[in-house]
């Protein structure tokens, strides 16, 4: 069984979001989660790049770009997402 690493959300805030191919999407501004279950739902982008606008990403009520957390494949020095999971 693989043990999942846990860390506070403040360690994710401000990290650069990149695709598996190295394309930059922006930085993590905030994380949206389900309060009852703790399930992570969205990453809110800060300073979205021009490249991120080529995708039809959802926006919240304030107009901030949201990336579904299901697209995240790794968190380390960067938050890595799979572009194919953004559609």
Closest CA to 11 of 65, 76, 67: 76
pTM (2 decimals)? 0.85
What is the predicted pLDDT for the residue at 38?
80
CA distances from 25 to 28, 43, 79 (A): 9, 11, 10
Model confidence pLDDT, tens digit, residues 10-67: 788 999 999 999 999 999 999 998 888 888 899 999 999 999 999 999 999 999 999 9
Q: Position of tokens 């770009």?
A: 65
- Structural domains of the chain in order of their starting residue, each with its CATH number: 9-85 (2.30.30.240)
């Amino acid at each position: 069984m693989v043990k999942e690493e846990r860390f506070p959300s403040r360690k994710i805030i401000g990290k650069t979001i990149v695709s598996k191919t190295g394309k930059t999407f922006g930085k993590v501004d905030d994380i949206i989660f389900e309060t009852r279950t703790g399930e992570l739902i969205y990453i809110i982008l800060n300073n979205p790049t021009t490249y991120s606008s080529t995708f039809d990403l959802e926006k919240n009520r304030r107009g901030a770009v949201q990336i579904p957390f299901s697209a995240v494949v790794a968190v380390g020095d960067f938050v890595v997402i799979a572009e194919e999971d953004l559609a």
